[in-house]
A and B are shown apart, each in its own frame.
Chain A
Amino acid sequence: MTEEIRLGIYICHCGLNIAGVLDPEALAAQGQILPGVAVCRHHLYTCSEAGQQEIKKDIQDYSLNRLLVAACSPKLHEATFRRLLVESGLNPYLLEMVNIREQCSWVHSQEPQAAQAKAVELIKMGLAKVRSAQPLPERRVPVTRQALVIGGGPAGLRAALDIADGGFPVVLVERQPILGGMANKLHRTFPQGETALSLINPLMAAVMLHPGIRVLTAAEVMEVTGHLGNFQVTVRRAPEMVKADCDLCGQCAQVCPVAAPAEMEEGLNLRQAIYLPSPRAFPARYVVDLEHCDGCGLCAQACPPQAIDLAAGETRETFTVGAMVVATGFLPFQLRGSRYESWAARENVITTVALERLLDPYGPTGGKLLLSGAEFAPQDLAFILCVGSREEDGNRYCSRVCCPTALKQALELKTRFPGARLRLYYRDIRTTKKDWEDLYTRAREAGINFVRGEVTSIRGVPDGGVVLHAQNELFGVETEDRVDLVVLAVGMTLGNGHPLKEVLKLPVGHDGFFLEAHPKLRPLETVLDGVGLAGACQGPKDLAETLAQASGAAAKVLGLFAHEVLTLDSIICTVDQEKCVGCGACFQECCFQAVQMVGEGKEQKARIIEAACKGCGVCAGACPNGAVIARGFTDEMIIDQIDAALAEEPEKKVLAFCCHWCSYAGADFAGVSRLQYSPATRIIRTMCTGRLHPKFILHAFQRGAGQVLVSGCHPPGDCHYMAGNLRAQARIDKLRPRLATKGIDPARLRLEWISAAEGRVFQRVVQEMAGQLTREKKGKIEKSIE
């Protein structure tokens, strides 16, 4: 670099927040004489309009080309000052914020002298870093303004309609041959008891007729590559054996010799191998069940419009979208393989889903309560709640909708069979929504009994009924109860979305559902930019919540599509092709598939896909040759910061590497909470602990650092880059034995997980490490005395 560095340093009083402990004037005087510094000032409020005007004027007057602001945390005002640089015609990345408030004046208010000395060093560290700052190019990603919606249930339908109504084309992919998802199996909805048909069918029909929506049924997403704004999606479509000419005459099914249980009807009746999945769902067309079809060809001969082609093969197509919504829904808890399997084997033990089909006038029994073909007027009926939910070993979560579903069904049965005695075995009745409690009240008023307690076993009795053995919690007794029909209120599990875990690398929570980016504030997004979540694939939900969430996910897509080009943060990685030896370490460690290996054999080199890169620097931390340049956090910058931090009395320092998202914020939070800790601490911020190459830690020890802390987000889920923290952990585990061989006590290196809210933990950890320093010092003194 031939460019002459002309630095401006600005030290903020922040009222008395900084100036109450530190002496900004003295800091400014010391700053002024540092090499390369053209101007150094202090200001009551640097972030105020007046403070910013002063800096702008200086940039012109002194032709400044690097800026250092010693004030509050970069998390607060880095954006403000970056904007200032842009307004002054400078690249926004030629700025360094030095945190002398949250990480100095607030946490060392009892030791102003030590705090002042630390502030000087912090400024020197900042200077060391900003000297090698380079202007970073703006990263602009063009947006393909077409969306993919995966899943054609209520969530997918709503999201597709909202995006298409917003003016952007949508491709809707559904695995089943028909749209509607689980809603097709529903008879009535709660709390008002409207039929699912009257609610969901119009959505389905509107999607089918919408000119902006392309519906691909019997299709699966096989592969997704690319990134926000530009995903290449490959979809596999099952063989289209019945063409669009099908006029639903049904002659094919009449001649088909093969019978199989109907999935749509929960196996309550049989259908042919060529069949109409549902008389009311879309698209309305017969389909061939490949699993059962024996290829006899009778249907093809019988079809008047000759719409059947049993030789059709599966097809694939690839298209590009800018964003996608995952709405793969749920599946009811599967009894097979569970502890309820033997219960369910009984004829008069059914699930709430099967009961929906039995109550539906369009269902397999025409809405009559038939069991094995015989009409049935039960006298005694029992519902068992929490089947497959809130289990000790199994699904631990509450499925949320089973209580209101069971209440709705119990009320309907009570209306149909007024003389029947109904009871619900429950643990807690969870009618948590404003309009749901009324169902519970109505059920009690209708004379339905509620028994709090767990059903432990059931057995058959000769008269055809079953006896439930239960613990009645409220009366503290064991009861036996003979009933004619048992309905198991089954919970929800992640449904057909499972393959997407692999295809999209979509993270899943410990409950098995897709994980949102943040449980409170980003419930509709995932950690993958441009991939949103809607409906029950994110967790159990009722229909109203599902539809609201789907609209929400659509809003995120519409927000992206409002821009033809998105400007993304410039802090990403690049590979120095000269230095790269093509070892592939970066390729293996990157969590975002942002590294590409190009070329063959010895010519192989790594290359970063800029649009996919999140800037965590995990690849740079893995590179054995220093070939990866982590922009904004280069090797050179970090080494210079270490040198500056350890220039004086290194043995008395605790050098802390903190990740931007959790631990640095945790240190800030210690400041906000005014938690006092040792001024021996020097923090170096990186985007992720995964950025840290072991060479930095070795370098710090070689420089004589007393203690080194590496601190990141709690595993497994907190890391903002999926698994950067685990990469750091693996590297440190490997480093420890090496430290010992170099004569460095591995106990001087600590790895801690500290979240943004754990200011106290940060305080405790650095206090312990600082305590270690004094103990070591004492030990050394004692040794030298000996």
Chain B
Amino acid sequence: MKLLICACPEIRFDLPEVVRQLADAGWQAHLSPPICTPGGIKQAAALSKEGGGWLLAACSSAHHAGLFRRLWKDPRVIDLLGCTGTEEAVGAILLGLEAPPGPPREPRPLHQSVLIVGGGIGGCQAALDLAHAGCRVYLADSSLSVGGAMAQLDKTFPTLDCSICILGPKLVEVSTHGNIELLTYARIDKISGQAGNFSVDLTLKPRYVDMSKCVGCGTCTEVCPVMVPSRWNLGLKPRKCIRIIFAQSVPLRATIEKEYCIDCRMCVDVCDRQAINLEDAPRFRQLQVGAIVLATGARPLDPSIKSEYGYGRLPAVITNLEYERIVCATGPTQGALITSHGRPVKSLAFIQCVGSRDRRFLPYCSGYCCTASIKEAMIALEHHPDTRVTIFYNDIRTSGKGFEELFRRAQKAGVRFIKGLPGLIREDRAGRAVVCYEDLISRGRKELAVDLAVLAVGLQAPSEALPFQDFPPERDSFGFYRPRHPILHSLESSTPGIFLAGTSQGPKDISETVCQASGAAARVMSLFATLRETQ
């Protein structure tokens, strides 16, 4: 076994000392200039021509991008970048040198299919890209419909495009693509195996409606006598116990929420397609896939823990997602911007950084909220041009493409921006929200009474963990999936074969999510090609 050590500039410990210690242990090491530079390649190419087995002490495959494969046939690599000092490096190298060669790799079955967990815009985009490229795709979502959070938004920034109008066709494309199988209302029970050969158990929860018979006409909903708060409308509006989750949902099918069902069978009687089956049972599936894309998304922080803002106590304080539902034409108020008492909203305040950039809650910036609030302010002005809108901010972070223009438009349109985050929100006698704040620019403690105070809440990692059996992908201290490398491999998890798209690895806006989802698709295809090549 011959040994080559790469003098990577990232290595912070004394490499010549490592060489010396190895020499003491009886191993002759070649210390090469960084292998990824012209000088390094020249030397490495010359050495590899000598033949024999080589051990490379360099960087992990996360860095070297398959470079070593081009210089040596099947080299063994020790990751020096992962070592903290000379001792650890010498130990790791000696272990590598003295370890017996592993057993020849057995050919494993290679599945060219992919499971995508999460059917939001990220999951859908990754599914479409993979399906177009000929991969078989399973798209699993815990919800009744694909579409995720984007389906709940009224408009998207910076163009103020109607959200569901641009998302809807994509969802239809997902549902009609021959290579994609939709698994909605699904729960993942177990994920085991490794890159190229994962086995996934999942449960399809019962809908009590035969998917093959239901045509989504909505007649059952009309007759159902049971009213239930609608989670999809964030509890702002009741819905029926049997319902289609939203008008553009994919699949467009009714579902009974059995916990609330009173077994009156009115829906059974009215359905002329006999689609309702109150005896429906969960179904189990096992999938064999070669790769998994985690597009599980993030969830908004519950602002009631920031108790000084009174969310949950004061009816005039709502979250930005609730606001999106209220201003949306398909929302609980058919798009009328009114308070919970039904009064028109004449003044509005947006409070930024609720939970974000706050050591008590989320120490990071959630990225999307500044531009989202500005968009929401513009929507309010579209509804009633004389609405008084104030945005309380810390820094305005409109740094995406076209975002700064939107910020300027809002300033011109009369949206007031106040630097200073409120310390308290209380209620006045008229039930309005009184925002108590310190204006950091014009100075002084002030109060502003508004009809509605909208909290721009931060995004946090989903709390539930997926049931990985073998090598669960690492998560960071906030619970987001940790990419294999923050710059080079932001689309891959720490576990080979498991990829990341969208907010599962940190807050992102829609277009970043879409880019990442396509990127993750490319990496899946690369993985399959590499596995095919190396088998």
Contact = CB atoms under 8 A, between A and B. Distances in A.
Contacts of A167: 529
Contacts of B418: none
B391 to A, nearest CB: 13
Interface in A270-303: 279-284
Contacts of A436: 364-365
B516 interface: yes
A602 interface: no
Given A48-B273, A551-B519, 11 more contacts: A197-B9, A199-B488, A203-B65, A280-B34, A397-B404, A428-B397, A430-B397, A433-B365, A519-B158, A524-B514, A555-B522
Interface string B495-528: 0000000000011001110111111111101100
Contacts of A520: 156, 159, 161, 166, 510-511, 514
A203 B485 CA distance: 14
Could you say which of A195, A390, A428, A665 has the most chain B C-beta atoms within 10 Å of its C-beta? A428
B129 A559 contact: yes
A209 B37 CA distance: 12
Contacts of B522: 162, 166, 551-552, 554-555, 558
B239 to A, nearest CB: 18
Interface string A543-564: 1110111111111101110100
B519 A555 contact: yes
Contacts of A521: 121, 125, 166-167, 170, 510-511, 514
A582 interface: no
A374 interface: no
A432 interface: yes
Contacts of B467: none
Contact of B367 (A201, A432, A552): A432
Contacts of B9: 195, 197-198, 361
A59 interface: no
Interface residues of A, number: 97
Interface in B217-238: 217-219
Interface in A560-597: 560, 562
A665 to B, nearest CB: 7
Contacts of B408: 396
B132 interface: yes
Given A15-B217, A15-B219, A441 B401 contact: no
B133 interface: yes
Interface of A: 15, 44-45, 47-49, 75, 79, 161-162, 165-167, 189, 191-192, 194-195, 197-199, 201-206, 208-211, 248, 279-284, 361, 390, 396-400, 428-438, 441, 473-474, 476, 509-511, 513, 518-524, 538-540, 543-545, 547-556, 558-560, 562, 665, 669, 672-673, 756-757
Q: Which range contains the number of B residues in contact with the other chain?
A: 35 or more
A544 B401 contact: no
B59 A165 contact: no
B519 A549 contact: yes
Nearest to B401: A539
Contact of A400 (B156, B329, B400, B506): B400
28 contacts: A161-B66, A162-B526, A201-B34, A201-B37, A202-B65, A211-B70, A397-B404, A398-B404, A399-B399, A430-B397, A432-B399, A474-B440, A476-B443, A519-B401, A521-B166, A521-B511, A540-B399, A543-B487, A551-B523, A552-B521, A554-B519, A555-B519, A555-B521, A559-B133, A669-B162, A669-B165, A672-B329, A756-B161
Contact of B515 (A195, A202, A543, A549): A549
A728 to B, nearest CB: 22
Given A194-B487, A199-B487, A523-B515, A390 B404 contact: yes
Nearest 10 A/B pairs, CB to CB: A284-B38, A552-B518, A551-B519, A555-B522, A434-B506, A428-B395, A559-B132, A539-B401, A209-B70, A201-B36
A16 to B, nearest CB: 8
B486 A544 contact: yes
Contacts of B488: 199, 547
A531 B515 CA distance: 15
A473 B439 CA distance: 12
Nearest to A397: B404
Interface in B49-80: 59, 63-67, 70-71
B450 to A, nearest CB: 24
Interface string B190-206: 00000000000000000
A211 B516 CA distance: 27
B525 A166 contact: yes
A205 B486 CA distance: 20
A167 B527 CA distance: 11
A513 B402 CA distance: 11
